[in-house]
C-alpha cells in the first residue's frame, strides 16, 4: 500500500527528480517550444479523474491507464476511453519512489488498436 507521505505535487522539480533518479538527464526546458522538452520512456500506472460534465468541480469518472513517456511538461499515456482535447482533469502518476499528483490538460487523443493514446500537459 502506498503511504500518503510518498505523494508529491506534480511540479517540474519533482518530475525532474524522478527522471534523474531513473538515469535521465533534464536540461533546462524551454516552455515556449514543447518539442524541445526531452521525453523519456516511462511505463507505469496512472490514474485520471475525468470530470463528467467537463467542469472540474462536478462528479468525476475514475480512469486507469499506463504512462508511455514522461517529461517535465507532460505525459503520454494509453487508456481505454476517449478524452476531449482541452479538458482539464486530475492525475496521479504512480512510481515506486513516489506518486506525483496534480492537474493536466488533454492536448491530443488518438485512437489506437487497443484504446487511445493521450497527451497531457501539466497545469502549473
pLDDT digits (tens, 9 = 90+) for 71-102: 889 999 999 999 999 999 999 999 888 899 99
pLDDT digits (tens, 9 = 90+) for 36-67: 567 777 788 999 999 987 555 668 899 999 99
Residues 6+ apart with CB under 8 A from 5: none
Give the pLDDT of residue 86.
96
Nearest by Cα to 109 from 81, 69, 72, 73: 81
**How many C-beta neighbours within 10 Å does residue 110 have?**
9
**How many C-beta neighbours within 10 Å does residue 48 have?**
23
**How many C-beta neighbours within 10 Å does residue 5 have?**
7
Q: Rounded to two decimals, what is the model's pTM?
A: 0.82
**Cell (9 digits) for 83:** 478524452
Give the pLDDT of residue 24.
63
Helical residues (DSSP H) of the chain, grouped into ranges: 12-21
Give the pLDDT of residue 78.
97
Give the pLDDT of residue 26.
58
**Cell (9 digits) for 85:** 482535447
Indicate if the pLDDT at residue 21 is higher than 90. Answer: no
Give the pLDDT of residue 39.
74
Structural domains in the chain, CATH included, are 40-124 (2.40.10.220)
Amino acid at each position: 500500500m502506498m503511504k500518503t507521505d510518498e505523494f508529491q505535487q506534480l511540479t517540474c522539480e519533482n518530475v525532474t527528480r524522478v527522471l534523474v533518479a531513473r538515469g535521465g538527464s533534464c536540461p533546462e526546458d524551454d516552455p515556449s517550444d514543447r518539442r524541445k522538452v526531452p521525453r523519456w520512456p516511462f511505463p507505469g500506472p496512472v490514474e485520471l479523474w475525468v470530470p463528467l460534465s467537463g467542469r472540474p468541480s462536478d462528479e468525476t469518472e475514475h480512469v486507469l491507464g499506463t504512462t508511455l513517456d514522461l517529461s517535465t511538461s507532460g505525459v503520454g499515456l494509453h487508456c481505454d476511453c476517449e478524452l476531449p482535447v482541452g479538458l482539464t482533469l486530475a492525475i496521479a502518476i504512480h512510481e515506486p519512489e513516489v506518486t506525483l499528483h496534480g492537474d493536466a490538460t488533454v492536448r491530443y487523443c488518438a485512437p489506437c488498436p487497443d484504446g487511445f493514446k493521450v497527451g497531457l500537459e501539466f497545469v502549473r
